[in-house]
């Protein structure tokens, strides 16, 4: 996938079929929209593209806004590439850009980037104040010589909820990682580097790696214990955002919480224990995929009571992971 970060010279402007969005999570709904762009591009002999933003637009308009992102910028770009997007137009969202009307924005896409067909998400609005709708976009397209197509909604079962980034964030905040994975089309993951912790786990037979997420805006799911899959990454693959090295996957159990037994106060920790692993993980990048929530975090009267509960957690989580993937330990 080629990323376009500035206005293209005239000779480099390939005619594009494009769509617009922030694409947080690149979930199933996003990928269905992208498939429609790809189909239109094939039918008209164009190049498929997405128009997106490296930074959440609300961070520009509201400097104190702290987004809860499903994907970092690097992860999003990797997922878009895997979805088969040929070109990605990265626009810096600025106050000047925000003041453009929908027609001005469409004209910019046509004149500066070669967009000939614009596929608009079925419920997507853009332009200053976002107070115009599809009929307006259609009229502007006719005036600009740009074909405008309204995308179809992702078909779902009658009792299913709409696939959206906000719905997925809600599910993760409730610990419902399995349902979130269904809407995403992949397991939600955390990625970061292992930092030094309190080293209490090793004293009770369950050494843990304390994860420092790559991005402070990455959404951390509800506190509790989870069955997880963990991949050990090298520096280069971690920098790329994603890794598919099945040879280095481990089963494990993750605890997100405040360590109440150890009276940790309000500090939240993200600790993972890898099954059947020995070695030093400090400063090692990890990718943790959340498979299933198993229980709430609890306070125990002693370290021995905590150890016994973690031992039961291990048995239950090993069995759960084994039932889902016999290749995992």
**In the block, which residue shows the tokens 């067909």?**
117
CA–CA dist 259, 179 (Å, integer): 26
Tens of pLDDT, residue by residue over 55-88, are 888 887 787 888 899 999 999 999 999 999 999 9
Count helices and strands in the chain by DSSP H and E runs: 10, 12
Percent of the chain clearing pLDDT 90 (strictly above): 60
Band (pLDDT 50/70/90 cuts) for residue 237 is: low
Residue 170: its pLDDT value, please? 96
Average pLDDT, the chain: 87
Q: Where in the chain is the domain with CATH 2.40.30.30?
A: 165-324
Helix, strand, coil: what percent of the chain each, to 5?
A: 35, 25, 40
Q: Where in the chain is the domain with CATH 3.40.50.620?
A: 15-150
Neighbours of 233 (CB within 10 A): 21
Taking 90 as the threshold, does the pLDDT of residue 6 lie above it?
Answer: no
Assigned CATH for 15-150: 3.40.50.620
Contact 113, 28 (CB under 8 A): no
Taking 70 as the threshold, does the pLDDT of residue 192 lie above it?
Answer: yes
What sign has the CA pseudo-torsion 162, 166, 172, 177? Answer: positive
Tens of pLDDT, residue by residue over 264-286, are 656 789 999 999 998 888 889 99
**In the block, which residue shows the tokens 């016999």?**
326
Residue 198: its pLDDT value, please? 64
The SS3 of residue 69 is strand
CA dihedral (14, 17, 22, 23) in degrees, to 10, reads -120
Q: What is the pTM of this model?
A: 0.89
Tens of pLDDT, residue by residue over 79-132, are 999 999 999 999 988 889 989 999 999 999 999 999 999 999 888 888 877 788
Residue 264: its pLDDT value, please? 61
Phi, psi (degrees; rounded to nearest 5) at 323? -70, -30
Residue 245: its pLDDT value, please? 46
* Superfamily of 165-324 according to CATH: Riboflavin kinase-like (2.40.30.30)
Beta strands across the sheet bearing 47-52: 2-4, 87-90, 47-52, 16-20, 115-120, 147-150
Residue 129: its pLDDT value, please? 75
């Amino acid at each position: 996938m080629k990323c376009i970060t500035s206005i293209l010279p005239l000779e480099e402007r390939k005619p594009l079929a494009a769509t617009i969005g922030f694409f947080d999570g690149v979930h199933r709904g996003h990928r269905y929209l992208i498939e429609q762009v790809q189909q239109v591009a094939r039918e008209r002999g164009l190049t498929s593209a997405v128009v997106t933003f490296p930074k959440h637009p609300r961070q520009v308009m509201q400097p104190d806004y702290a987004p809860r992102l499903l994907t970092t910028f690097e992860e999003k770009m990797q997922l878009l590439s895997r979805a088969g997007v040929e070109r990605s137009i990265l626009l810096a969202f600025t106050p000047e850009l925000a003041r453009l009307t929908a027609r001005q924005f469409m004209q910019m896409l046509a004149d500066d980037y070669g967009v000939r067909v614009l596929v608009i998400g079925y419920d997507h609005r853009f332009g200053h104040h976002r107070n115009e709708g599809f009929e307006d976009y259609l009229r502007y397209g006719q005036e600009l010589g740009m074909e405008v197509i309204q995308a179809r909604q992702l078909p779902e079962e009658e009792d299913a909820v709409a696939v959206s980034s906000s719905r997925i964030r809600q599910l993760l905040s409730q610990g419902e990682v399995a349902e979130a994975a269904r809407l995403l089309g992949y397991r939600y993951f955390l990625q970061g580097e292992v930092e030094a912790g309190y080293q209490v786990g090793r004293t009770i037979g369950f050494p843990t790696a304390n994860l420092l997420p790559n991005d402070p805006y990455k959404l951390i799911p509800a506190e509790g214990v989870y069955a997880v899959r963990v991949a050990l990454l090298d520096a280069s693959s971690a920098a790329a955002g994603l890794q598919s090295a099945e040879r280095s996957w481990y089963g494990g159990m993750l605890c997100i919480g405040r360590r109440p037994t150890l009276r940790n106060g309000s500090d939240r920790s993200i600790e993972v224990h890898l099954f059947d692993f020995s070695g030093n993980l400090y400063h090692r990048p990890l990718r943790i995929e959340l498979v299933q929530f198993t229980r709430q975090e609890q306070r125990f009267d002693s370290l021995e009571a905590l150890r016994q509960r973690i031992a039961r957690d291990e048995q239950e989580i090993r069995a759960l992971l084994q039932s889902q993937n016999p290749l995992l330990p």
